[in-house]
Structure 1
Amino acid sequence: MLTHINPKLPMRDKTVTWDYYVNQLGFELFGSADYDGYLMVQKDSIQIHFFEFKELDPTENYGQVYIRVDGIDSFYQTLLDKKVRIHPNGYLEAKPWGQKEFSLLDPDNNLLKFGESI
């Protein structure tokens, strides 16, 4: 039986990634150990892991995660209030496939898409 999935995305700089996910998106550090070149963050029941890839060219990064959300309007507004940059083609909107979605790009161009069923 499958129980969880924890995506692993590339990061160039652990401090920058930590700052974005913790201070901008409201995640917390997961675990008590600080591993060199590795970062784990959690928000509610969602964990995202990051591995160091210093040579990553963000323009060639196709890392993506789709995160289902309850209360997407409130979460979206919280990010706007914190001045988090929304993807230019990913503002909150209802989609024909029955989801309300928006998107962000993290500092390494990993695409974070958030969606809630409508």
Structure 2
Amino acid sequence: MSASVKAAVPILPAVDVATSLAWWTDVCGFTESFRDNTPPNYVGISRDGASIHIASITDKTVGKAVGEQTMVRIVVDDVTLFFEEYKQRGGKVHPNGGLARKPWGTLEFAAHDPNGVCVTFLE
């Protein structure tokens, strides 16, 4: 018998945690689960079965560089509906990341969070 993996919780970098938190909650529909301080340096968010943490990187140059090299893929049950919700909340789609069926079979769209993290929502 082997152990099973129950979940994964990515920790995303942010130069400004409050700004990233607002994008994730106001635009992507996640809910704040916890925070360390006000304003926050470390927060947890969730939506349905997914959890994400956002951590402050105090050096703005390093933080932006790390953010722009970070990617996260989030699986949803109806990406077309999620896409419409995202746009209605004011979400901007990556210029090359419109809703499309990819050669590997997923239907997905991509965006950048305020720190430059590439976020792909897919089914």
Q: Secondary structure at the match of 1:40?
A: strand
Asked if 1:46 is matched to 2:47, the reply is: no
Q: Does 1:23 align with 2:26?
A: yes
Three-state SS of the structure 2 residue aligned to 1:80 is helix
Question: 2-side partners of 1:23 and 1:101: how far apart?
Answer: 20
Where structure 1 has 5 or more consecutive residues not aligned to the other structure, the ranges are none
Residue 24 of structure 1 and its aligned partner are, at CA, apart by 1.1
The reply on whether 1:97 has 2:97 as its aligned counterpart is: no
Backbone CA RMSD of aligned residues? 1.3
SS of the counterpart of 1:109? Answer: coil
Q: Give per-residue Cα distances to partners, 1:24-74, cap 9 Å, x unaligned.
A: 11100114xx31411110011111101110224325531111111111111
Q: Which amino acid aligns with 1:42?
A: S
- TM-score when scaled to structure 1? 0.89
Aligned pairs (5 A) from 1:6-85: 6-31=9-34, 34-36=35-37, 37-57=41-61, 58-59=64-65, 61-85=68-92
Q: Unaligned 5+ residue runs, structure 2?
A: none
| Secondary structure of the structure 1 residue equivalent to 2:121 | strand
Greater per-residue helix proportion: 2
Say if 1:10 and 1:56, in contact at 8 Å, map to a contact too.
no
Q: Which portions of structure 1, spanning 4 or more consecutive aligned residues, are displaced by more than 4 angstroms? A: none
The structural deviation recorded for 1:8 is 0.5
Q: Deviations over 1:63-111 (max 9, x none)?
A: 1111111111111011112221101110000112111010010000011
Alpha carbons 2:73, 2:122 under 8 Å: kept: yes
What SS class does the counterpart of residue 91 from structure 1 fall into?
A: coil
The TM-score with structure 2 as length reference comes to 0.86
